[in-house]
Amino acid sequence: MAPKYVNHGQISAKSDVFSFGVMLLEIISGQKNYSFEGEGLAAFAWKRWVEGKPEMVIDPLLMKNPRNEIIKLIQIGLLCVQENAAKRPTMSSVIVWLSSETITIPLLRGPAFTRNNSLSENSKMSVSNNIFTEMSCR
């Protein structure tokens, strides 16, 4: 969930962008956001990006696909999950980036959302455990 929604109960189009980014990173990694103890998927992906090891985020089953395409998706996902909603792209920008092979995607300038971005080492926080029901057709 987007930080602004979690902290203030406010939802916006940028909250949807954040959710899309998380979903994109989940698809690429083959992992759920909550599978990463203590840091979350966005923080894990950001750390690998900064280390120059984005392939560590990629599900091995996707490795047969062109690496540059998967890296592009990771970059888009990380742009979408930035903690500051004003820095997140619009969904129309995301659609253009996804559908174009020649357009330049903005560089990541700062860390994506992490659970500990604004917390001191001694701070405590609680995380809500929401239950989601998956619907399936008959």
Alpha helix segments (H runs only) across the chain: 3-8, 13-29, 40-50, 67-80, 91-99
Q: What is the pLDDT of residues 96-112, one digit of tens each?
A: 999 998 888 988 876 66
Q: What is the pLDDT of residues 26-64, one digit of tens each?
A: 999 998 887 666 678 888 999 999 999 999 999 999 988
List C-alpha distances in Å: 89 to 20, 39, 64, 82.
11, 23, 29, 9
Confidence of residue 21 (pLDDT cuts 50, 70, 90): very high
Q: Which CATH number is 3-99 given?
A: 1.10.510.10
Residues 131 and 125: their CA atoms lie apart, in Å, by 19
Note the pLDDT of residue 10.
56
pLDDT at residue 115 is higher than 60 = no
Contact 43, 115 (CB under 8 A): yes
Show me where the domains of the chain are located: 3-99
- At residue 128, what is the residue type? S
